[in-house]
Amino acid sequence: MRQTKNNPLSHLLFHSYYIITHNYVNIYIMLFTSFNFLIFLAVLVALYAITPQRFRWFVLLVGSMTFYGFAGLHFLIYINATIVITYFCTIKIRHLRLIRDVEIEKFNDLGLSQENIKEARRSLRDKTKRKAKGWTALCLVLIIGILAAVKYTDFAIENFNTILRLFNDSQQFSLIGIAVPLGISFYTFQTVGYVIDVYREKAEIVRNPLKLALFTSFFPQVIQGPISRFENLSKTLYSGSQINRHGLARGSQRILWGFFKKLVIADRLWPALAFLAIHPEEYQGIYYLFAIALYAIVLYCDFSGGIDIAIGAAELFGVRLPENFNRPFYSRSIQEYWQRWHITMYSWFRDYVFYPMAASKRMLRFSKASRRVVGNNLAKRLPVHISLIFVWFLTGLWHGATWNFIMWGMTNGIVLMISLELTPLYERFNKHFPTLTDKWFYRSIQIFRTFWLMNFIRSFDIYDGVRNTFRMMWSVVANFSFNEFLTSGLSELKLSTEEYFSALAGLLIVFFISFLGRGNIDFRDRLGGVKWPLRYTLTGVVLFMTLVLGAYGHGFDARQFIYNIF
Amino acid sequence: MGLTRGSLFTIYFKIIVAVIAFVVVFFTLQRLLVPKYASTAIEGGLIREYYNSPMNHDVIFLGDCEVYANFSPITLWEEYGITSYIRGSPQQLIWHSYYLLEDTLRFAVEKPKVVVLSVMAMQYDEPLYEPYNRLTIDGMRLSPTKLRAIRSSRTEGEDYLSYILPFFRFKDNWRDFSSEDFRYFFQNPQVSISGFMVRSDVFPVEFIPDPIRLPNYEFGEKPMYYLNKITTLAKENDIELVLVKAPVLWPYWFEQWAMQIDTFAYNNGLKNVDFTIGLNNEGLDYVGLDFSKHTFNAGLHLNVFGAELLSSYFGGILKEFYDLPDRRNDPVTVEYWAELSKQYNRLIATQLEEIRETGHIHTFLIK
């Protein structure tokens, strides 16, 4: 089927649909929501607790490699290649800096004048920096090269074949079909961040290769993030904190919350979404609107649920992972949305691609040169706009080797660019109506607008092919029937009324908890403030709702997290 | 900083309360969610009921519907004083029967003297469907035998945990909650008389489809392996094993299969009672079966009147060849079987009344 090749999400949707309709079970990895994972976690916690503090990080490394190897031992080759390359290059940089420091010390003994010493030091520093830059570049080329080779080769061949066909060339190259290693986009980006930070002298260079291996492969985050920074993660990752009641309780609560979102909502609603995604001909217009809203819910509960489990699992070992979501559906603008959704990816692109590019000398020169053509004002903003579009092109490509994802990324970039251009207009509007922005209904309209805008952009993830997605968008105008949807629509979508209600009940709880979390307060802190019988009861309710209403076990596919495929 | 004794006590207290609350809620929910087999698939209650019996039967039947629909323990009791129990369930495979024999020997108060094994399931080499595994294995008491039964029977995707804690298999039954789940919360309904399912209705044989010829008639390795294991287990426990093929027209019992069973019985010194010999679309003369009135589903199973005839005949064989005591002199046993007979006759009377009034039977449960 063509769609299985073109769009990873369609592939996943199709696969899931196939599994649902054929009652077929296929487990590729140790899923966070599997019993295997819970047993693995319990054993690892016990081993961690009985191991002396200085060796505890090693337990995490063994656990991480075991977890990763569960998907297939051959995948360990890729991740270990990345680790070895990174280690070798960063150690080289360290040696260069050590030699530089020794040489600088020696200058004092050579009897040179202060001015000459200064000059010699500067020259040596520049030379070392150039060499370090060379090693950094080599490292980045190699580790990004692995990512590119396994993830994008087939995409490149497919496009090359399309070009050949355009020129009526019958020559076609066959796809190589490499299985993409789990979480390669995540661990590669995390490692790239580390290498750049080492070059910028922001991160300490890890001298123990096994510790670097743990940073790269730490099991809770290796397959779907969050993408950590070395200087933050290393504080707790290697400390070998004692397992304590508080950490266990908080970690377990967070894991439970992740299970709840994933099993009670995301996986329960998944069959309806899968059904809509692979039947675009029959379900258009209002069904398209329903599908994109459903996808927003499913993706949020799936991805943030996975992140909750990752953060909770790390907390059991006293390791702190960065937050990846901050109530994104309360965003009032697309800029705000991207500061609340997949935060670590957004900040990664901002810090390692956008800022260096927008503030680069070349870009500034280009901005200066373009003044005559586009005028002073626009020329000043050009570096930002170009960098923005480039970053979002990369973001799309990072999500998947398909034109759908590239379109998704570019659309985000364009909307953000337009939004930036319209900022003065908004400011003028706000000046004229200063009290309006504080009114709840105005805020609600902004939230509503952002929610649906993001839904439309996200629909590139759902349907097979860019053209198809545009056709579905157009169907809202051309083929809209509200009555049909109300009379028989929902019941056709592979879910019973009870299932809709159970997902809705789950959704209300998520909404309620997220509402209580306003002001960046962790709900668990609020929960910690109430009397223990009530606290235990609330936890019990969520636990039993997950156990009873969760879509798992017999008749359900043990379904991957959506972001596991990136 | 160490914890004081008081705060330690509080922590332990909270943990104990939480664990107890979890266990109580979990098992309450499990009890609510697992099927009660009161209105649909009532055969699912068969295996479990054995543990409510005195578990001291002289004869144990093992097999699928060929035993639980076709042999009446009440007839064996009333005519011969034989105490018997049918450990049968739908699509019960040979390895299920083996583990049920092991289970019987593990839990029985007195070992049986004779085991009657239906050979119908010898044709199946692999586990068939998960629901059939459930109908058999879920009713077994938790023991190493049950774990082995699970291991040998699992189809793809089935796991141990959901057999040990059936909550994980039936959790989605919340969508079909009914008053039945509350009515039978504490006690499942009784669906059989000593493992026998009573059906008093008649659906005569009208048409028997031609059998589909098979490419290979040789029994598979797995059923043969377990048939050998049953034979060995019976011998080790001084139990006489009888192989039986019930007199039903469908599913078709091929001659090649019958010959293999015959050879196996001969080689192992076992009695093989094949009621397909002499069987035709009208019935079985020497037993007195008439398929115009002794079957409730067109020759697939006998009704209670057919089962009584067959049991009367088969009881004679058991009595003639095996040293089975007549228990009708033991007051405790008599009292127990008298109660069963009363239930049996009451159900038949009820069903006949329903047939007279509506043309169909509606009552299947004993109580």
* Predicted confidence (pLDDT) per residue in A146-203, tens digit: 999 988 888 888 888 888 888 877 778 888 777 778 888 899 999 999 999 999 999 8
> Hunting for tokens 């095996």 — which residue is that?
B322
Say if the Cβ atoms of B162 and A245 lie within 8 Å: no
For B10, nearest residue in chain A (alpha carbons) = A532
Residues of B in contact with A553 (CB under 8 A): 162, 168-169, 171-172
> Hunting for tokens 């979390």 — which residue is that?
A517
Is A387 among the domain residues?
Answer: yes
User: Cα angle at B269 between B307 and B110, to 5 degrees?
Assistant: 60
What b/e readout covers A234-273, taking b as 16+ CB neighbours within 10 angstroms? bebbbebbebeeebbbbbbbbbbbbbbbbbbbbbbbbbbb
Is A94 among the domain residues?
Answer: yes
Strand runs labelled E in A133-215 = none
Using alpha carbons, list the distances in angstroms from residue A293 to A272, A276, A493, B123.
12, 12, 14, 52
- For B307: left if phi > 0, alpha if psi spans -120 to 50, otherwise beta; the answer is alpha
For B131, nearest residue in chain A (alpha carbons) = A554
Using alpha carbons, list the distances in angstroms from residue B205 to B69, B91, B252, B286, B360.
16, 22, 14, 19, 17
The number of beta carbons lying within 10 Å of the beta carbon of residue A561 is: 25
Q: Which of A245, A498, A554 sits opposite B162 (nearest CB)?
A: A554
Cβ contact B301:B295 at 8 Å: yes
Residues A234 and A121 in one domain: yes
Residues of A in contact with B167 (CB under 8 A): 547
Task: Give the structural domain span for B126.
Answer: 34-358
Residues A235 and A331 in one domain: no
Interatomic CA distance for residues B198 and B366, integer angstroms:
9
Q: How many helices (H) and strands (E) does chain B have?
A: 14, 7
Is the peptide bond preceding residue A226 cis, with omega within 30 degrees of 0?
yes
Residues A112 and A221 in one domain: yes
Residues of B in contact with A542 (CB under 8 A): none
For B22, nearest residue in chain A (alpha carbons) = A540
Interatomic CA distance for residues B220 and A443, integer angstroms:
71
Say if the Cβ atoms of B161 and A35 lie within 8 Å: yes
Is the peptide bond preceding residue A356 cis, with omega within 30 degrees of 0?
no
Task: Give the structural domain span for A216.
Answer: 29-247
Q: Which of A245, A543, A547 sits opposite B171 (nearest CB)?
A: A547
Task: Check pLDDT > 90 for residue A380.
Answer: no
Residue B171's nearest CA partner among B23, B31, B20, B38 is B31
Is pLDDT larger for residue B87 or for residue A125? B87
Residues of A contacting chain B (CB within 8 angstroms): 23, 25, 35, 245, 496, 498-499, 532, 536, 540, 543-544, 547-550, 553-555
Domain end position, chosen among A462, A492, A517: A462
Say if the Cβ atoms of B171 and A548 lie within 8 Å: yes
Task: Check pLDDT > 70 for residue A68.
Answer: yes
- For residue A18, the model assigns a pLDDT of 34
Say if the Cβ atoms of A498 and B175 lie within 8 Å: yes
- For residue A488, the model assigns a pLDDT of 67
Task: Check pLDDT > 50 for residue B62.
Answer: yes
ipTM of the complex: 0.78
Mean predicted confidence (pLDDT) in A477-496: 77
Please give the distance of CA B263 from its chain centroid, rounded to a whole number: 26
Domain end position, chosen among A194, A219, A247: A247
Is B221 among the domain residues?
Answer: yes
- For residue A6, the model assigns a pLDDT of 44
Nearest C-alpha of chain A: how many angstroms from B38? 22
For A551, nearest residue in chain B (alpha carbons) = B172
Question: Residue A412 is encoded by which pair of tokens?
Answer: 């985000």
Nearest C-alpha of chain A: how many angstroms from B44? 18
> Hunting for tokens 């297939």 — which residue is that?
A72
Interatomic CA distance for residues B291 and B273, integer angstroms:
20
Cβ contact B311:B48 at 8 Å: no
- Given strand B240-245, what is the order of strands in its sheet? B84-88, B59-63, B114-118, B240-245, B271-274
Using alpha carbons, list the distances in angstroms from residue B344 to A76, B72, B187, B300.
66, 10, 20, 22
Is pLDDT larger for residue A243 or for residue B75? B75
**What residues contact B237, with CB distance under 8 A and at least 6 apart?**
B105, B111
Is A164 among the domain residues?
Answer: yes
Classify B273 as helix, strand or coil: strand
Is B209 among the domain residues?
Answer: yes
**pLDDT tens profile A1-14:** 233 334 444 444 44
Task: Check pLDDT > 60 for residue A300.
Answer: yes
Is A349 among the domain residues?
Answer: yes
Interatomic CA distance for residues A392 and A349, integer angstroms:
9
Dihedral sign for Cα B253, B255, B261, B262, please.
positive
Q: How many helices (H) and strands (E) does chain A have?
A: 27, 0
Most confident of A30-44, A89-103, B62-76, B203-217: B62-76
Residues of B in contact with A550 (CB under 8 A): 171
Interatomic CA distance for residues A77 and A403, integer angstroms:
29
Is pLDDT larger for residue A254 or for residue A557? A254
Number of domains in chain B: 1
Q: Which of A35, A498, A544 sits opposite B25 (nearest CB)?
A: A544
Please count the CA atoms within 13 angstroms of the CA of B252 that sit on its side-chain side: 11
- For residue A457, the model assigns a pLDDT of 93
Residues A91 and A194 in one domain: yes
Classify B70 as helix, strand or coil: coil
Residues A241 and A346 in one domain: no
Task: Check pLDDT > 70 for residue A530.
Answer: yes
Please count the CA atoms within 13 angstroms of the CA of B102 that sit on its side-chain side: 22
Mean predicted confidence (pLDDT) in B333-358: 95
Residues A74 and A170 in one domain: yes
**pLDDT tens profile A193-209:** 999 999 999 989 999 99
Residues of B in contact with A23 (CB under 8 A): 157
Nearest C-alpha of chain B: how many angstroms from A553? 7
- For A520: left if phi > 0, alpha if psi spans -120 to 50, otherwise beta; the answer is left
Cβ contact A506:A545 at 8 Å: yes
Query: How big, in percent rounded to 5, are the helix, strand and coil portions of chain A?
Result: 75, 0, 25
Most confident of A73-82, A411-420, B96-105: B96-105
Say if the Cβ atoms of B21 and A540 lie within 8 Å: yes
**pLDDT tens profile B93-108:** 999 999 999 999 999 9
Please count the CA atoms within 13 angstroms of the CA of B327 that sit on its side-chain side: 20
Amino acid letter, residue A273: L
Is A209 among the domain residues?
Answer: yes
Residues A191 and A337 in one domain: no
Q: Which of A25, A540, A555 sits opposite B172 (nearest CB)?
A: A555
Q: Which of B11, B17, B162 sits opposite A553 (nearest CB)?
A: B162
Say if the Cβ atoms of A496 and B175 lie within 8 Å: yes
- For residue A558, the model assigns a pLDDT of 53
Is B307 among the domain residues?
Answer: yes
Interatomic CA distance for residues A321 and A313, integer angstroms:
10
Residues A82 and A201 in one domain: yes
Residue among B154, B172, B181 with most chain A CBs within 10 A, to mutate: B172
Question: Residue A392 is encoded by which pair of tokens?
Answer: 């979002």
Task: Check pLDDT > 60 for residue A15.
Answer: no
For B12, nearest residue in chain A (alpha carbons) = A245
Cβ contact B66:B248 at 8 Å: yes
Using alpha carbons, list the distances in angstroms from residue A216 to A31, A77, A516, B279, B333.
19, 13, 34, 73, 72
**CA end-to-end span of chain A, whole Å?**
21
- For residue B3, the model assigns a pLDDT of 66
Is A263 among the domain residues?
Answer: no
Interatomic CA distance for residues A462 and A469, integer angstroms:
8
Domain end position, chosen among A446, A462, A478: A462
**pLDDT tens profile B303-327:** 999 999 999 999 999 999 999 999 9
What b/e readout covers A492-514, taking b as 16+ CB neighbours within 10 angstroms? bbbbeeebbebbeebbebbeebb
Of A444-453, A473-482, B121-130, the one with minimum mean pLDDT is A473-482
**φ, ψ dihedrals at B278, nearest 5°:** 85, 0
CATH of the domain at B245: 3.40.50.1110
Say if the Cβ atoms of A549 and B21 lie within 8 Å: no
The size of the A-B interface in CB pairs under 8 A is 46
Confidence of residue A564 (pLDDT cuts 50, 70, 90): low
Please count the CA atoms within 13 angstroms of the CA of B50 that sit on its side-chain side: 33
Say if the Cβ atoms of B25 and A540 lie within 8 Å: yes
Cβ contact B201:B351 at 8 Å: yes
Say if the Cβ atoms of A550 and B156 lie within 8 Å: no
Q: Which of A25, A536, A548 sits opposite B156 (nearest CB)?
A: A25
**pLDDT tens profile B123-160:** 999 888 888 999 999 999 999 999 999 999 988 878 88
Nearest C-alpha of chain B: how many angstroms from A29? 15
Task: Check pLDDT > 80 for residue A554.
Answer: no
In DSSP notation, A302-365 reads HHHHHHHHHHHHHHHTT-------S-GGG-SSHHHHHHHSSHHHHHHHIIIIIHHHHTSHHHHH
**What residues contact A257, with CB distance under 8 A and at least 6 apart?**
A305, A308, A312, A513, A542
Cβ contact B291:B299 at 8 Å: yes
**What residues contact B100, with CB distance under 8 A and at least 6 apart?**
B47, B62, B87, B92, B136, B140, B149
Of A529-538, B71-80, B272-281, the one with minimum mean pLDDT is A529-538
Is B21 among the domain residues?
Answer: no
For A25, nearest residue in chain B (alpha carbons) = B157
Interatomic CA distance for residues A417 and A109, integer angstroms:
57
Classify B140 as helix, strand or coil: coil
Mean predicted confidence (pLDDT) in B358-365: 89
Interatomic CA distance for residues A472 and A199, integer angstroms:
47
For A549, nearest residue in chain B (alpha carbons) = B172
Number of domains in chain A: 2
Mean predicted confidence (pLDDT) in A401-405: 84
Of A150-154, A467-471, A472-476, A561-565, the one with minimum mean pLDDT is A561-565
Residues of A in contact with B175 (CB under 8 A): 496, 498-499
Residues of A in contact with B25 (CB under 8 A): 540, 544
**DSSP type of residue B116:** E
Mean predicted confidence (pLDDT) in A75-89: 94
- For residue A282, the model assigns a pLDDT of 84
Nearest C-alpha of chain B: how many angstroms from A551? 8
In DSSP notation, B256-271 reads HHHHHHHHHHHHHT-E
Kindly report the average pLDDT of chain B as a whole number: 92
- For residue A557, the model assigns a pLDDT of 60
Confidence of residue B83 (pLDDT cuts 50, 70, 90): very high
Say if the Cβ atoms of B168 and A553 lie within 8 Å: yes
Is A273 among the domain residues?
Answer: no
Task: Check pLDDT > 50 for residue B294.
Answer: yes
- For residue A28, the model assigns a pLDDT of 56
Percent of chain A with pLDDT over 90: 48
Interface of B with A in 120-179 (CB under 8 A): 130, 156-159, 161-162, 167-169, 171-172, 174-175
B29 in reach of chain A (CB within 8 A): yes
Using alpha carbons, list the distances in angstroms from residue B199 to B45, B354, B361.
16, 12, 8
Say if the Cβ atoms of A554 and B11 lie within 8 Å: no
> Hunting for tokens 């901002």 — which residue is that?
A350
Cβ contact A237:A460 at 8 Å: no
**What residues contact B324, with CB distance under 8 A and at least 6 apart?**
B58, B59, B80, B82, B113, B114, B318
Please count the CA atoms within 13 angstroms of the CA of B6 that sit on its side-chain side: 0
Q: Which helix (H) or strand (E) holds B85?
A: strand B84-88
Is A341 among the domain residues?
Answer: yes
Say if the Cβ atoms of B169 and A553 lie within 8 Å: yes
